[in-house]
């Protein structure tokens, strides 16, 4: 034998040995590779049975979760068995796949059923000591705030007299809050000590009279409106004063509106509010935007005291200078003071609520103390 023949025989033997080693490794590398398709399907059924037994035995949700991870997690025996499908023929793969899917569905359904059973048992245990025949606890009933009750009632009364609701911004200009209302530049109400000013020159409205000006700027006469809303002043807060309060103002402008119309309107309003026998009186006063002007008092009996006169509002006939300012703002003569007259009035809703309910401290209206508010429920 020459050298070439010897080399060829060596290579042939080496090749035969490699093939034998590969076959041995293939047969022994996986516990499933040597199983028949039928045995693999049987093993899927055994895994399912083991999982169902473990799930049924679970008494807590933590144990149930462990069972889920063991039998449906990434490293579960079902996933390992599924990995051996590559070694099956195309005819056998669907059979094993169906067996694996059936096992997963059965295990998943059992997990859901057992989880619901554990939750039901926990719920039942939480109410085990309760007597369902006992009467239910009564919840406290809510009610409207006394300010809301008074405001709604005031609006209803005035709506019966033909007044429409109007609204306007709470951040106002000096023109709408003072200039158009004939308030002199040196009037105390325009001081920083009385009014909240912004750096821009605008201010928080000190009354809802500004709504009257804005309404006349936009609408043509006749006008008959009421404007409820918040107003702001730099008052020291005490039992009778707040820096923010609630007003309701009214305006009626038309041909031949008279002082008697104003008097009749407010007498009707306060008698509807406090009772038909309520005495109402008008005292001469001064307001820059009305002439003549009056303050209104009503005679009421406060609980525990003798009847007495209580101031409730201010009013008067619209000053012609107000119409002139509005005409200049509009650029026309729609509110010609030579042919139109009108009246205006304003009242504090907080004060009306205090009178109506015998409240002695205005601060109670804004503190949201349930001990106070529960009295109106």
Q: What is the pLDDT of residues 274-291, one digit of tens each?
A: 999 999 999 999 999 999
Q: Are 217 and 329 a contacting pair, CB within 8 Å?
A: yes
Please state the rounded mean pLDDT for residues 296-321: 89
pLDDT higher than 60, residue 2: no
Please state the rounded mean pLDDT for residues 108-136: 86
Name the more confident of 33 and 333: 333
Structure tokens at 327: 């005409």
Name the more confident of 188 and 35: 188
Distance of CA 302 to the CA centre of its chain: 39
Alpha-carbon Rg for the chain, nearest whole angstrom, is 45
Residue 78: in which H helix or E strand, if any? helix 77-82
Q: Count Cβ atoms within 10 A of the Cβ of residue 263 and give its class: 0-12 exposed, 13-18 middle, 19 or more buried.
A: middle
Please state the rounded mean pLDDT for residues 46-53: 88
**pLDDT reported for residue 303:** 65
Antiparallel, parallel or unpaired: β 223-232 and 164-165? parallel
**pLDDT reported for residue 1:** 47
Structure tokens at 139: 């919840």
pLDDT higher than 50, residue 79: yes
Q: Are 223 and 255 a contacting pair, CB within 8 Å?
A: no
CA dihedral in degrees (228, 230, 234, 237; nearest 10)?
A: 100
Looking at 13-22, 101-110, 211-220, 304-313, which range is the least confident one? 13-22
Structure tokens at 310: 């209580």
Can you tell me the distance from the alpha carbon of 354 to that of 242, in angstroms, rounded to the nearest whole number? 13
* pLDDT band, very low/low/confident/very high, at 129 (cuts 50, 70, 90): confident
pLDDT in tens, 220-277: 999 999 999 999 999 888 998 899 999 999 999 999 999 999 999 999 999 999 999 9
The contacts of residue 296 (CB under 8 Å, 6+ apart) are: 266, 270, 280, 281, 282, 283, 311, 312, 313, 314, 315, 345, 347
**Strands (DSSP E) found in 4-115:** none
Looking at 11-20, 192-201, 296-305, 357-366, which range is the least confident one? 11-20
Can you tell me the distance from the alpha carbon of 100 to that of 78, in angstroms, rounded to the nearest whole number? 7
pLDDT higher than 70, residue 82: yes
Residues, the chain:
377
Can you tell me the distance from the alpha carbon of 344 to that of 94, in angstroms, rounded to the nearest whole number? 92
Domains, in order of start, for the chain = 37-120 (no CATH), 146-376 (3.30.930.10)
**pLDDT reported for residue 14:** 35
Structure tokens at 129: 């000591």
Mean pLDDT score of the chain: 86
Distance of CA 59 to the CA centre of its chain: 43
**pLDDT reported for residue 190:** 92
pLDDT higher than 60, residue 57: yes
**pLDDT reported for residue 37:** 77
């Amino acid at each position: 034998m020459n050298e070439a023949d010897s080399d060829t025989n060596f290579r042939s033997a080496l090749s035969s040995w490699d093939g034998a080693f590969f076959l041995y490794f293939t047969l022994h590398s996986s516990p499933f590779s040597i199983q028949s398709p039928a045995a693999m399907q049987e093993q899927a059924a055994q895994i399912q049975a083991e999982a169902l037994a473990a799930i049924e035995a679970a008494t807590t949700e933590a144990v149930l979760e462990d069972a889920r991870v063991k039998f449906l997690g990434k490293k579960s025996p079902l996933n390992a068995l599924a990995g051996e499908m590559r070694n099956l023929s195309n005819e056998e793969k669907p059979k094993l796949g169906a067996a694996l899917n059936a096992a997963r569905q059965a295990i998943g359904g059992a997990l859901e059923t057992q989880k619901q059973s554990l939750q039901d048992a926990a719920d039942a245990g939480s109410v085990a000591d309760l007597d369902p025949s006992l009467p239910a606890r009564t919840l406290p009933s809510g009610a409207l705030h006394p300010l809301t009750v008074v405001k709604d009632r005031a609006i209803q009364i005035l709506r019966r007299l033909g007044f429409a609701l109007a609204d306007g911004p709470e951040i106002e200009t000096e023109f709408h809050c003072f200039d158009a209302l004939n308030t002199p530049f040196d009037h105390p109400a325009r001081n920083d000590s009385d009014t909240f000013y912004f750096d821009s020159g605008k201010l928080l409205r000190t009354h809802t009279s500004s709504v009257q000006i804005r309404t006349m700027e936009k609408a043509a006469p006749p006008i008959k409106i009421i404007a409820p809303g918040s107003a702001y002043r730099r008052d020291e807060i005490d039992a009778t004063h707040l820096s923010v309060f609630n007003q309701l103002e009214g305006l009626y402008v038309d041909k031949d509106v008279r002082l008697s119309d104003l008097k009749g309107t407010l007498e009707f309003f306060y008698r509807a509010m406090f009772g038909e026998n309520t005495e109402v009186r008008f005292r001469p006063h001064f307001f820059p935007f009305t002439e003549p002007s009056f303050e209104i008092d009503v005679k009421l009996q406060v609980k525990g005291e003798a009847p007495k006169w209580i101031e409730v509002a201010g009013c008067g006939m619209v000053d012609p200078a107000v119409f002139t300012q509005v005409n200049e703002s509009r650029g026309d003569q729609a509110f010609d003071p030579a042919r139109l007259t009108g009246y205006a009035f304003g009242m504090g809703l907080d004060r009306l609520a205090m009178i109506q309910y015998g409240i002695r401290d205005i601060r109670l209206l804004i503190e949201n103390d349930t001990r106070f508010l529960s009295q109106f429920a």
